[in-house]
Amino acid sequence: MHGRGPRWLAPLAVVLIWGVNVPVMKGALEHAHAFGFNAARLTASVLVLGILDRLERRGEPAPATPWRAVLLLALMTSLLYQVLFSLGITRTSATHAGFLIASGPLWTAGIASAVGLERLGRRAWIALAIAFVGTCTVVVAKGGGGTVTRADSLAGNGILLASMLVWALGTILTRPVLAEFPATRLAYLTTLVALPGHWLLGWRHLAAEWRGFTPGIWGAVLYSGALSTGIAYSLWNRSLLRIGPARTSAFTNLVPLIALVVAWGTLGERLSALQLLGGALVWIGLGTWRSARR
């Protein structure tokens, strides 16, 4: 049992950070454009990850960089995923976003099976089918409150679902890179390489809006940048290496619960019956999938 705790501590810390980040971003993006917000928060991410990388190396020279893999992962997980996620969350509720993030293990397992990295039995496929039905139910459910309209909610859910597909593929592609490359440095380089793309998309919005940023928005920038896409990215990569993508992704089941509680307390969001049904199916399917894999 010794040493087992720290193996699960990293992904647990990540989902706690990400669960809180969903309503934090939702609240901030009601007053700031998604692209400008991304440029600011990912700048904070690069600064934090760069400091962590230097502290971990302790003056030793940086290892040889697999630039082809870094560029691919930067495009997928640090640029495309972040753009889709921020656009999606502006058009739906934090509660919806949390449930859709929980569908990550479904897509990770499905893609891993499709490319031959993992073989799934009949029971596992049935479980994933249940989770898929639950995800679709959440996607078409009415928003959880606030200023989100029905049409916006449906569009936002679709964009968020696309972001989770990108994240799942990136999660699978990250694992072999981590076998020979430090987790924190990989997170730092992929975010650094993607940062010019975020500034290209967001500088005009940020230049027009930053003077109107309240302390709450700047707090969201720091939280989402330093923690959610900074420290959490490093911890996530460590967990991918130590316990694998499927087990790491399974922890995202906790994200909707955390997001729901925080969104209820800060944004006044409420669960609809259809949301509750879809979320229950996601959890049942993923719980059955985990037992089938064991």
Give 240-257 pLDDT, tens digit per residue.
777 777 677 667 767 777
How buried is residue 62: exposed, middle or buried, by Cβ count under 10 Å (0-12/13-18/19+)? exposed
Instruction: Tell which residue, 84, 82, 88, 130, has the closest CA to residue 106.
Output: 130
In the DSSP assignment, the letter for residue 142 is: P
pLDDT digits (tens, 9 = 90+) for 218-240: 999 999 999 988 888 888 877 87
6-58 per-position pLDDT tens digit: 577 788 888 889 889 888 998 899 889 999 999 999 999 999 999 999 988 88
- The model scores a pTM over 0.85: no
Extract the runs of DSSP E, i.e. beta strands, from the chain. none
Tell me the one-letter amino acid at 147: T
CB 258 within 8 A of CB 192: no
What does the block give as tokens for 282? 């996601």
Average pLDDT, rounded, for the chain: 82
Class of residue 55 by CB neighbours under 10 A (exposed 0-12, middle 13-18, buried 19+) = exposed
DSSP element (H, E) containing 192: helix 183-209
The span from the first CA to the last CA of the chain, in angstroms, equals 19
Give me Rg for the CA atoms of the chain.
Answer: 18
